[in-house]
Amino acid sequence: MPEPPRSDADVPRFTAELGLPGLVDVHVHFLPERMLRKVWAYFDQAETHYGRPWPIQYRTPEPERVATLEELGVLHYAPLVYPHKPGMARWLTEWVGEFAKATPAAVRTATLFPEPDVADYLGAAVEAGARAVKVHVQVGSFDPRDDLLRPAWGLLAEAGVPAIVHCGHGPIRGKHTGLDIIAEVLKEHPQLPIVLAHAGMPDFAEALDLVQSFENVHLDTTMVGTDFSLEIAPLPPDWPERLVDVADRVVLGTDFPNIPYPYHEQIAAVAGWAAADDRLGAGFLRSVLYEAPARLLGVGDERVPPADDTHAWNRNEPGPCRR
């Protein structure tokens, strides 16, 4: 186990000592400039919304943010967009498609909203090569069980394209948040690939139960276990132990650039889980930081040397999602 990174500049050293070519991050945000400024303005009022400050760590122009991810060694990432009202999802999906075309490390993504044409624009995005779909139940304030979304969920299940779904109650409860609600969607579409954003924060135990109940459900690490989040969403005491059985379905996510701390703190948090249980260790880190998210997004043609401590869960073969 290498020493966890102590700064952003130290992240490439850490990944190199793990034998990785870099990182794959399934949960970053790039948005049209006007929309991003509104998001940042919302976080500037975080004490009103959340009862605590939320200083944006990477409040820089778009080219600089792209360069920062490159300097961190993030080889591939999913730029996520999300609407808060009808009529936005189509043009956001088109915008992020153009962003991915112009940004080599970015994979194509899409988003959705319960509206009559959702299957049309989502189907077009999947046909064009979208590798992940952002679903923000909290911000969108919609019910994921809405009849208008049934064809969209079916389309994603058939295509094997993962939906990265913010459906937990954190950081604040929404009208339709709750893992019990997304569980109903999964019961109707049991093969649907879903990534529970923020590992279902704060309902981590329930999120782990869903991963064990549905073979295509993953957890992303976004903000989980960082000092900032532990104050409001502490992890179960047996968190590393419980990760052992689902270790190949935990994937790196960070929420860059909208995090109130440096990027390396997320990597260090995951390293802490790996060190806490001998059944995890460096093999788990290689899986979370590169292998599992690369499998999920269908990327990662860089050569990764075989590990000496490969565990039974540390698979390199393609997973259940579309390739």
What is the rounded average pLDDT of the residues 98-110? 98
Global confidence as pTM: 0.94
The pLDDT of residue 313 is above 70: no
Q: What is the rounded CA–CA span in Å between residue 193 and residue 320?
A: 8
Q: What is the rounded CA–CA span in Å between residue 262 and residue 307?
A: 29
Q: Give residue 265's region: left, alpha or beta (phi > 0; psi -120 to 50).
A: alpha
Q: What is the rounded CA–CA span in Å between residue 231 and residue 267?
A: 18
Percent of the chain with pLDDT over 70: 93
> Where do the domains of the chain lie, and which CATH numbers do they carry?
23-297 (3.20.20.140)
Residue 321, CA atoms < 13 Å, CB-side half-sphere: 25
Nearest to 69 by CA among 146, 11, 133: 11
**Quick one: pLDDT at residue 311?**
53
**Quick one: pLDDT at residue 312?**
44
Banded model confidence at residue 54, pLDDT cuts 50, 70, 90:
very high
Q: What is the rounded CA–CA span in Å between residue 96 and residue 236?
A: 36
Q: What is the pLDDT of residues 212-247, one digit of tens each?
A: 999 999 999 999 999 999 999 999 999 999 999 999
Q: Evaluate whether 8 touches 264 at the Cβ level (below 8 Å).
A: yes
**Quick one: pLDDT at residue 319?**
45
Q: What is the pLDDT of residues 160-176, one digit of tens each?
A: 999 999 999 999 898 99
